[in-house]
Amino acid sequence: MMPRIDLTSVPSSGTVLEFSMAHAQYATTRNENLKVQVSVDCGLTWTTIYTKSGSTLATAPVTTGDFSPAASQWRKESVSLTPYIGQQAMFVFIIQAANGNNIYIDDVNVKATGVSIAENDLDTYISVFPNPVKEKLGIFSSSDILKSSVISLRNSLGEEVVKIKNENQDQAELNVSQYPNGVYFLSIQSEAGSAVKKIIITK
């Protein structure tokens, strides 16, 4: 499952979900299935926007051993997100196994008119510590990115559990001791751009 993606400010057409995948059938009678689903109501309902299986899914010949793709055995897939423009969207990849062979997924990205939405992300300028975290999570920046930023924490279902407005130039702090163990996504939105960090809360 991907963290929730903000599609409220992207172009009204030409926005797509892109990913690379690779798969080989173990036998022609064993048909693995790959689905991509989207939710715009925080995971209450899901709509399938991509599905392929069997030979249609395969990017390589039938392989009876453990399939590991060569560089030429990857295929890029693109799914239109036009029906979901203007909304907050969550995406999940679902693999239905049929006692067959491996499916690989990589380079997942949302793009608008050929430009990656992630190109302005500031992940490399933001650090969090400690991670995994039990009580207080420190958020640090090598510049003034955090000044006048909005920091929010969402659980794996995309539900927002806390949001704060931060005015400090280079650091912020969240107390996460009251939240259940699990995987969370920390989102930082500022005038300079955005960043998303995967956080693990453990007691």
Task: Identify whether the C-beta of residue 197 lies closer than 8 Å to the C-beta of residue 185.
Answer: yes
Say yes or no: 26 and 63 in one domain. Answer: yes
- Which helix (H) or strand (E) segment is 112 a member of? strand 103-112
Say yes or no: 74 and 143 in one domain. Answer: no
From the list 116, 125, 100, 99, the residue with the least C-alpha distance to 195 is 125
Say yes or no: 9 and 54 in one domain. Answer: yes
Say yes or no: 92 and 140 in one domain. Answer: no
Residues in contact with 80: Cβ distance below 8 Å, sequence separation at least 6, in sequence order: 15, 16
Higher pLDDT, 9 or 198: 198
Percent of the chain with pLDDT over 90: 44
**Tokens found for residue 36:** 């991509």
Q: In whole angstroms, what is the distance from residue 165 CA to residue 167 CA? A: 7
Percent of the chain with pLDDT over 70: 89
Say yes or no: 126 and 114 in one domain. Answer: no
Say yes or no: 143 and 57 in one domain. Answer: no
Q: pLDDT-based confidence at 88, cuts 50/70/90?
A: confident
Say yes or no: 13 and 73 in one domain. Answer: yes
How far from 107 is each of 19, 84, 118, 155, CA to CA, in Å? 5, 21, 12, 22
Is the pLDDT assigned to residue 93 strictly greater than 90? yes
Say yes or no: 75 and 153 in one domain. Answer: no
Residues in contact with 70: Cβ distance below 8 Å, sequence separation at least 6, in sequence order: 60
The DSSP symbol for 29 reads T
pLDDT digits (tens, 9 = 90+) for 31-83: 999 999 999 988 889 999 999 999 999 999 999 989 999 989 999 999 988 88
Higher pLDDT, 116 or 178: 178
pLDDT digits (tens, 9 = 90+) for 174-195: 999 999 998 888 888 877 677 7
Domain C-terminal end among 74, 94, 118: 118
Largest CA distance in the chain: 59
* φ and ψ at residue 161, rounded to 5 degrees: -105, -20
Half-sphere exposure of 42 (CA within 13 A, CB side): 6
pLDDT digits (tens, 9 = 90+) for 122-154: 667 788 999 999 999 999 887 677 878 889 998
Residue 138: give the domain boundaries. Answer: 121-201
From the list 138, 191, 146, the residue with the least C-alpha distance to 168 is 146
pLDDT digits (tens, 9 = 90+) for 2-32: 777 888 766 666 788 889 999 999 999 989 9
